[in-house]
Structure 1
Amino acid sequence: MCAEDFAKKTVGALSWGRKSIDLSVVNTFVKRIQERYHYSLVVLKELVKTDFKLRYQGSFLGVAWSVLRPLMLFCVMYVVFAKFLRMSDGTPTYPVVLLLGISTWQFFGEATATGLRAVVDRGDLLRKIHFPNYIVVVSATIGALISLGINLLVVVIFAIFSKIQFTWRVLLLPLNFIELYVLALGAALLMATMYVYFRDIAHLWEVLQQVLFYSIPVIYPLSMVMDNDSLGKWGLIIAKIQLLNPIAQTIQDIRHNLIAPETQPTVWTLVGNPLIAVIPVILAFLLLALGVHVFRKHNRKFAEVM
């Protein structure tokens, strides 16, 4: 064997050994993560199943209310705002856009409302069984996420019957829903912590939800603000400010990517500066970071306070 062949084999052996070491390190890391969070994942799974079963326990229609609630609200909103008050963007896709907006808003409202009360409502369980407190908040938001998934199936069916042409932008929807969930979870963690100490937070949040609902384009199209003659040049500025709200930005992005990219403006199409356009995304993740920080700081005292 020549020196050159020996060197090649040696280098190959070393490379293979290095790859084996890298794989073993990765496998060890994955196993440690699984061992550390296995118990938490089992508890989370059982809580989600229990919450979803108890939510409609005793009702005649059961889980069907997950679909019927947004549909009934959609019918009321459509008749009042689209038919009587003539709120529409003038396109045949508006009914589906309205239904999608109501469904996504319902998720945010349900996730924050149930997440807010999760720690207090599960206080007896937290005192009896030892598991990370944040799981009860996460399980509440995941329950709302399941309802959103059911509602989205209804939206897609409506969209198919309305002959809406889906585009490649549907591939961006997972990013939109991740941001929406991050936003809801951050708000839920923050308010769940505050609710342990101040029960008035629940009533205050109900009022703030109504303010948020009408301050962003959920039931009315954004074009009504942009093209409003009474607002003049301020209409476009106000629309841009509205879209800097992470909730409005996420809802509009979902509508844009799923239903009507031509008629549904987003912060990315209205705001020319990408550094400004990315502000609502940054705010969503900052809210999650704040919620996690505040929750972790106070969660050890929950049992004493409750």
Structure 2
Amino acid sequence: MSQKFPADLSEFTVPGHSRGLIDALSYRYLLRLLIRKGTLTRYHGSVLGWVWSYVKPAAQFLVFYLVFGFFLGLNKGIDNFPIYLFSGMIAINLFGEAFGNATRSIVDNTALVQKIYLPRELFPISAVIVAFVHFLPQVLILVVVCLIAGWVPSLIGIASIILGMLIVVTLAIGLGLFFGAINVAFRDAQNLVELILLFATWTSPVLYAWTMVADKVSPWVFNLYLANPLTSAVELFHAGFWFSTTSGSLPQPPHLAAFSLIGLLISLIILAIGQLVFKRLEGHFAQNL
């Protein structure tokens, strides 16, 4: 009588079992396909194609500069106001597109979610990466303008820009996971996201100087304002791109490094919460779509 030995199942995984964001690295091939799909189909069928990645932010900048810089006079007291405005604007644009794309990512990929199993986190992550790809042309324009204005890159400045990007992307993924999961069952989530993006633009020092807030609110409210991850990210972009082109007419916010780390920590906490909510709700995605 032959002796039976238990089968070695160590190389197998339970079907439908996901390790969350870690699987985005394990399924790199699928992630690349989703990113490729997102970048190629964005302007599919349009006449200008990728030129829209330059036209849209340029038009937005022109409107903001004319209204807030020229007519309302907010450019007074801020050297190289166009660079100040555009460097903050592209940070908010990155957050807005990444957050919005991630929120819609599950619903936009209904066919895949219903038919096959793959880690659902791939969809919001790929959506954020696609937004980052479309953010790069705006950075290129800003770099060229900064160089013309006398920008001198430094290690601290480049580190500030990278940290600002990290805060924005982390926050967008966390909120995208949270609202993307909720959006599957309640499509009102997309409307709420639009309100959040509206507040994001006006509660960050993009169109105005941070000193205007400091002069109007109490110190503890101002500290909360600086602890906002988007405020830290915008000021980090200002520090990296704009500050070295000025004569110091507008100083950097107090304790920017400390508040930037606080902003990053808040973004990581939101990312953890978003992942937990996503994991809890993803089992109902197929039936709710």
Q: Confirm or deny a common fold (TM above 0.5).
A: yes
CA displacement 1:62-87 (0-9 Å, x = unmatched): 01111211111001000000000011
Is 1:207 the counterpart of 2:204? The answer is no
- Whether 1:301 aligns to 2:289 is no
SS in 1 for 2:243: coil
How far the C-alpha of 1:211 sits from its partner, in A, is 2.1
C-alpha distance 75-239 of structure 1, shift in aligned 2 (>3 A):
farther
Q: Hey, what does 1:287 align to over in structure 2? A: 270
Which of 64, 69, 75 pairs up with 1:82? 69
CA distance in 1, matches of 2:152, 2:30: 41
Correspondence for 1:106: 93
**Structure 2 residue 161 is matched with structure 1 residue 154:** no
Following TM superposition, by how much is the alpha carbon of 1:116 offset from its aligned partner in structure 2, in angstroms? 0.5
2:109 corresponds, among 118, 122, 125, to: 122
Matched residues in 1 for 2:220 and 2:74: separation?
Answer: 20
Indicate the structure with greater helix content. Answer: 1
Identity value in percent: 25
Residue-pair matches, total: 262
Q: Is the 8 A contact 1:47 1:136 kept in 2?
A: yes
1:269-284 matched pairs, under 5 angstroms: 269=256, 274=258, 278-284=261-267
Superposition pairs of residues 179-218 of structure 1, within 5 angstroms: 179-218=167-206
The answer to whether the Cα contact below 8 Å between 1:78 and 1:95 also exists between their aligned partners in 2 is yes
What does the per-residue CA deviation read over 1:192-223, in whole Å, with 9 as the maximum and x for residues that have no partner? 01101111111122122212221221111213
Q: Which residue of 1 aligns with 2:242?
A: 259
Following the alignment from structure 2 to structure 1, what is the Cα–Cα distance between the partners of residues 218 and 142?
Answer: 30
Deviations 1:235-280 (A, max 9, x none): 66554332111111111112112320643523524x9xx5x76432
Which residues of 2 match residues 238-257 of structure 1 at below 5 A? 238-257=221-240
Q: Does structure 2 conserve the Cα–Cα contact (< 8 Å) formed by 1:119 and 1:136?
A: yes
Closer, same or farther: CA 235–83 of 1 in aligned 2, 3 Å: farther
CA distance in structure 1 between the aligned counterparts of 2:187 and 2:43, rounded to whole angstroms = 25
CA contact (8 A) 2:98 2:127 kept: yes
Higher relative contact order (CA 8 A, sep 6+): 2
Cα distance in 2 for residues equivalent to 1:256 and 1:264: 10
| Distance across 2 between alignment mates of 1:178 and 1:38 | 18
CA contact (8 A) 1:245 1:280 kept: yes
Structure 1 residues 84 and 284, CA, compared in 2 at 3 Å: closer, same or farther?
A: same
Q: Which runs of 5+ in 1 are unaligned?
A: 1-35
CA change 1:107–1:264 in 2 (3 A) is farther
One-letter identity of the residue aligned with 2:284: K
Q: Which secondary structure does the structure 2 equivalent of 1:259 belong to?
A: helix
Question: For the residues of structure 2 that align with 1:268 and 1:102, how far apart are their CA atoms?
Answer: 22
Cα distance in structure 1, aligned partners of 2:196 and 2:117: 34
- Secondary structure of 2:206's aligned partner: coil
Whole-Å separation in 1 of the counterparts to 2:136 and 2:162: 12
Moved more, 82-91 or 49-58: 82-91
The question of 1:66 aligning with 2:53 is answered: yes
**Residues 277 and 109 of structure 1: CA distance in aligned 2, closer, same or farther (over 3 Å):** closer
* C-alpha separation in 1, matches of 2:274 and 2:208: 30
Contact 1:96 1:158 in 2 (8 A): yes
Structure showing greater Rg: 1
- Residue 125 (structure 2) aligns with: 138
CA deviations over 1:37-89 (Å, ceiling 9, x no partner):
67611111011111111111111110111121111100100000000001126
Secondary structure of the residue aligned to 2:27 is helix
Matched letter for residue 133 of structure 1? R
Assess, with a 3 A threshold, how the Cα gap between structure 1 residues 147 and 66 changes in structure 2: closer, same or farther: same
Change in CA separation of 1:166 and 1:184 when aligned onto 2, cut-off 3 Å: same
| CA distance in 2 between partners of 1:295 and 1:94 (Å) | 41
CA root-mean-square deviation: 2.1
Structure 1 contact 255–264 (Cα < 8 Å) conserved: no
Q: Superposed, which structure 2 residues align to 1:10-21 within 5 Å?
A: none
